[in-house]
Chains A and B, each alone.
Chain A
Amino acid sequence: MSSTTTARAGATAAGPGGRKGKVRATDRARAEARLGWYLAGPAFVILVGVTGYPILQALYESLFSFRLTAPADREFIGLRNYGVILTDSLWWSAMGNTVLITVVTVAVELVIGFALAMVMHKVLGWLRPVVRTAILVPYAVITVVSAYAWQYAFGLTTGFMNAVLPFVGADFDWFANKWTALTVICLSEIWKTTPFISLLLLAGLAQVPDDMLEAAKVDGATARERLFRVTLPNMKASIMVALLFRALDAFRIFDNVYIMTKGAAGTETLSALAYNQTISRLEIGLGSAVSVLLFLCVLVICFIAIKVFGVDLARARGES
């Protein structure tokens, strides 16, 4: 290789090389796209497979009257299952319970979660890891275990709550009445999931610029004003995300209800209703229709959150 050839090659590259560079870039882009799909493909296929297949299958099954123990009587009935469900008061009371649980738990969790996040944010020294470890305990405990703990605590024979609480008698049966039963269900749900919310909010708190708070303080803003004028507005994105994720999670509530009441005393929720039709009654058609409707509800919540409240998930998830 002589130096002249090298120089000529260099000149060519620098001259009309714009085109050649572009070709190389697209080659590179194509290779990158291919690698991207090789890497992300398997996860994507599984994600789509384990949810896409079931929802399509459920859509199909929901058009039949089909009982697992009477396969010979399987019959196409169109949308009749949906008609039955949507005109049934049980569906609407389960819907009411689910919405109530969602609204109450998420609202309470936001307030408590914010308070916990503030404490975690402010506490320093050796207490900091202690507090952060403690808060992880409810997060790590299995929902079923939490459900049993709360159920036994309020249970008529096993519980100590009736002895401790001043406003109920020793024989008060928390699980006999819809509202008191729902209260205990919500307590267990709140206990278990508040840490998650408070950790999301803690991350949001860390993003509130300290100098802004200092400036507000110098300007003579009270603690209250600083909270509502500086801290909260700066945390809007993380609050919204915490809210949406917890709401969707609460909307699927099943474990606590199944363990504590199995839907007795009017505490049926949508997930428990779907479980009862398909798994307990083995009415695959009717149950599939309930499942599909539950899925549609989740879609609606997502749609409202994103379109109406403008939750920016892309930003929240760290995409740029």
Chain B
Amino acid sequence: MGAMSRKEKGLWYLGALFIVLYALLPVAWIVSLSFKAESDLANRSFLPTNATGENYSGIFSGDGAELFLPALRNSVIVCLVATVIAVVLAMFAAYAIARLDFPGKRLVLTSALAVAVFPVITMVTPLFNLWRQIGLYDTIPGLVIPYLALTLPISIWTMSAFFRGIPWDMEQAAQVDGATSWQAFRKVIVPLAAPGVFTTAIIAFFIAWNDFVFGISLTSTSRAQPVPAALSSFTGSSYFVQPTGAISAAAVIVTIPVVLLALVFQRRIVAGLTNGAVKG
């Protein structure tokens, strides 16, 4: 690879520039929209004529606040709780898969696979029916539970892959020193596995944050409605006015945390996604 000609190198750099443009243009567009005044939204150009913060003040303190702020709170709570539960459960499962030999190991992995490809919409109706009978409809736990179906499978794979890469001799050494399997797991493996667990948590959080189907189907008010669902029920300054500006501003706000995570933990996330997914 060291033997790259100057021309070749230039070409790859051009490619890199293209990637950056590709990735950032649509995001830049929605940011630009969010700074357009209501009368400026139809200016048909990429940039606002005069940038204004009115859309942001609208969703944080104006008419939209009543809808947006609770939704933001719900999203944060639901996604964090779902991520934590999924990562903890997946951590145990992944340890068992990577380290232990037990009948049904393949079954666990296969069912994780099956759940990952399961059409989400199929889950919605029966869950909706069950939830309204047992009072989980439009509640935080009513969203956390189905979110586990989204976050658990990928957590199990990603972490199994990480755990396989851990030097297990150290665990065996600990066991020889008299520690039980459990102690070996806790004292030796947990610190080694922490980066993998952390990466998995970020990926699981991304997936939970992205959900839309459960959000619009299993909630109905600001009691539990997450942001993506709230976005689609935003309203303009009057009943018939399109809430383009407010939606754009809210979209930018919900994009900030995930983009920050991506920026800060880029290396880990790339490693997590590639490790967990393909390993020959």
Contacts and interface: CB of A to CB of B under 8 A. Distances in A.
Interface of A: 29, 31-40, 42-44, 46-48, 50-51, 53-55, 57-58, 61, 115-116, 118-120, 122-123, 127, 129-146, 148-150, 152-153, 157-160, 162-163, 170, 191, 195-196, 199-200, 202-204, 206-207, 210, 237-238, 241-242, 245, 248-249, 251-252, 254-255, 258-259, 271, 274-275, 278-279, 284, 287-288, 291-292, 294-295, 298, 302, 313-319
A259 B232 contact: yes
A58 B117 contact: no
B16 A123 contact: yes
B269 A136 contact: yes
Given A40-B104, A203-B277, 13 more contacts: A36-B102, A47-B115, A51-B118, A61-B126, A116-B19, A123-B13, A129-B267, A133-B266, A136-B269, A144-B231, A149-B26, A158-B33, A200-B273
10 contacts: A50-B115, A122-B4, A133-B262, A134-B19, A144-B232, A157-B42, A245-B277, A298-B117, A298-B118, A317-B160
Interface stretch (B59-67, B166-174, B250-258): B250-258
B103 interface: yes
Contacts of A254: 120-121, 212-213
Nearest to A295: B122
Contacts of B276: 318
B247 interface: yes
Contact of B96 (A36, A122, A146, A160): A36
A191 to B, nearest CB: 6
Contacts of B15: 115-116, 118-119, 122-123
Contacts of B41: 157-158
A207 B254 CA distance: 36
B26 A40 contact: no
Contacts of A258: 212, 216, 232
A135, A162, A258 pick with most chain B CB within 10 angstroms: A135
B223 interface: no
B209 A142 contact: yes
A245 B111 CA distance: 15
Contact of B126 (A53, A133, A252): A53
B273 A199 contact: yes
A127 B232 contact: no
B117 A54 contact: no
Interface stretch (B50-58, B147-155, B191-199): B147-155
Interface in B93-151: 93, 95-97, 100-109, 111-130, 145-146, 148-149
B278 A316 contact: yes
B27 A199 contact: no
Contact of A57 (B101, B118, B129, B255): B129
B100 A39 contact: yes
A157, A302, A313, A317 pick with most chain B CB within 10 angstroms: A317
Contact of A149 (B4, B27, B97, B258): B27
Contacts of B101: 29, 32-33, 36
Contact of B108 (A43, A203, A249, A294): A43
